[in-house]
Amino acid sequence: MHRFHHIIWLGSLLLASSIAAQEKDEPMKFGMVIHGGAGTIERSTMTPEKEQAYRTALEQSLKAGYAILERGGSSLDAVEAAIHVLEDNPLFNAGKGAVFTHEGTNELDSSIMDGKTLAAGAVAGVKHIRNPISVARMVMEKSPHVMLTGEGAEAFAKEMGVTLVDAKYFYTEERWQELQKEKKSTAPKSDQDRHGTVGAVALDKAGNLAAGTSTGGTTNKQFGRVGDSPIIGAGTYANNETCAVSCTGDGEYFIRAAVAHTVSDLMQYKGMPVPEAAETALENARKLGGTGGLIALDKDGNFAMPFNTSGMYRGKVGADGKASVEIYR
Ligand code: ASP
């Protein structure tokens, strides 16, 4: 019995180190890493068609970002373009596929940060914006503010020439059913229906980092609730001196552990390499009770994509243009 346990223990250790080896690839000269949310994502509950649809979407997103980086475009442009693809796809909990609040509305949050200037922009609780990441960027570049919420954010978007969409645009049958299920459930909240937030981090040829995140938040949230995704330092952070980070998970805990900024701090003040800094920051949220994951890319092209759930939709592309996508552990 004792020996048997040892074999299992050794087996999981080998498995864990092979995962680490797989994901600790060569640093990229330029490139990007994306996520499409972390949570309970298991092979047993996924159809081959659905899995393929997720993979295709992640590849399209990487392709959109890569095309910009490859021709010498900025990491900010790449992040925005990659997130657009995922916001427009109903599979992800961002833009079109945003989850419902308890009241049956959709309230979207997003943020973006420029690692070169430390400029940042965010929107929270918007209900009529098709691509919140683009309005977050407008807040950063065309307003004196960092974050705009609700009606104020939408008025600003309109002023900027953005066409608002009807709230019905965000209705998807699958998300509606998830809300009904969650409302009926008496079980403690699980991360089953939470995954799907999207994020991207990029390093361009000029050596500039950028990060962005976009989400519908959490199913059955109270209206007015804001998670970590639009909060600079919690869900998103970028600094050319350290790294670019985008998080996904239980927002309440990611805010309290200031996860994205902590990754940068651990690199800057403790000299930690990015994989260790990312693991440590994620563990801080887990210690408080929050699960999830993050993507982080440093100024030298090293990256990490840790998560403590059963899966995280994720992918990367480096200078060679070869996109790779993963879902499960
Ligand atoms: N972090 C997001 C939020 O709390 C949700 C998620 O990443 O799944 O709004």
pLDDT score of 16 more than 50: no
Does residue 7 form part of some domain? no
Average pLDDT over residues 143-160: 98
Using an 8 Å Cβ cutoff, are 246 and 112 in contact?
A: no
pLDDT score of 2 more than 80: no
Whole-number pLDDT of residue 185 = 86
The rounded Å distance from CA 227 to ligand 1 centre is 6
Residue percentage of the chain with pLDDT more than 70: 91
Choosing from 86, 93, 214, 218 the residue with most ligand 1 atoms within 8 A of its CB, the one to mutate for a pocket test is 218
Using an 8 Å Cβ cutoff, are 236 and 123 in contact?
A: no
Whole-number pLDDT of residue 9 = 47
C-alpha 60/C-alpha 81 separation (Å) is 10
Does residue 151 form part of some domain? yes
Stretch among 1-15, 154-168, 251-265, 273-287 having the lowest mean pLDDT: 1-15
Which residues form ligand 1's pocket by a CB distance below 6 Å?
37, 194-195, 197, 215, 217-218, 227-229, 248-249, 251
Averaged pLDDT of the chain: 92
C-alpha 93/C-alpha 84 separation (Å) is 12
pTM over 0.85: yes
Confidence band for 26, pLDDT divided at 50, 70 and 90: confident
Strand ranges for 56-106 from DSSP E: none
C-alpha 244/C-alpha 310 separation (Å) is 24
Residue ranges in 172-273 assigned as alpha helix (H): 173-184, 251-256, 259-270
118-133 pLDDT, tens per residue? 999 999 999 999 999 9
Report which of 21, 45, 10, 55 is spatially closest to residue 315, judged by C-alpha positions. Answer: 55
C-alpha 118/C-alpha 27 separation (Å) is 23
The rounded Å distance from CA 295 to ligand 1 centre is 14
Does residue 9 form part of some domain? no
157-208 pLDDT, tens per residue? 999 999 999 999 999 999 999 999 999 987 766 555 567 999 999 999 999 9
How many independent structural domains does the chain possess?
1
pLDDT score of 261 more than 50: yes
Does residue 20 form part of some domain? no
Query: Looking up tokens 């970028």, which residue turns up?
Result: 238
Catalytic residue among 197, 213, 248, 291: 197
The values of phi and psi at residue 296, to 5°, are: -145, 140
CA angle 47, 191, 310 (to 5 degrees): 60
Output the CA torsion sign for 137, 140, 146, 151.
Answer: negative
pLDDT score of 280 more than 60: yes
The values of phi and psi at residue 60, to 5°, are: -60, -40
- Supply the CATH number for residue 88's domain: 3.60.20.30
Query: Looking up tokens 């480096």, which residue turns up?
Result: 318
Does residue 14 form part of some domain? no
- Domain with 37, as residue range(s), is 28-328
Whole-number pLDDT of residue 88 = 98
Does residue 10 form part of some domain? no
Whole-number pLDDT of residue 192 = 57
The values of phi and psi at residue 244, to 5°, are: -120, 135
Does residue 77 form part of some domain? yes
Hey, whose CA ends up nearest to atom 4 of ligand 1? 251
Does residue 2 form part of some domain? no
84-120 pLDDT, tens per residue? 999 999 999 999 999 999 999 999 999 999 999 999 9
Neighbours of 7 (CB within 10 A): 9
Residue 277 to residues 11, 206, 208, 244, Cα–Cα distance (Å): 26, 24, 20, 12
Residue 61 region by backbone torsions, left for phi larger than 0, else alpha for psi between -120 and 50, else beta:
alpha
Alpha carbon 100 to its chain centroid, in Å, reads 18
Hey, whose CA ends up nearest to atom 9 of ligand 1? 217
- Is 197 designated active site? yes
Query: Looking up tokens 């996860």, which residue turns up?
Result: 259
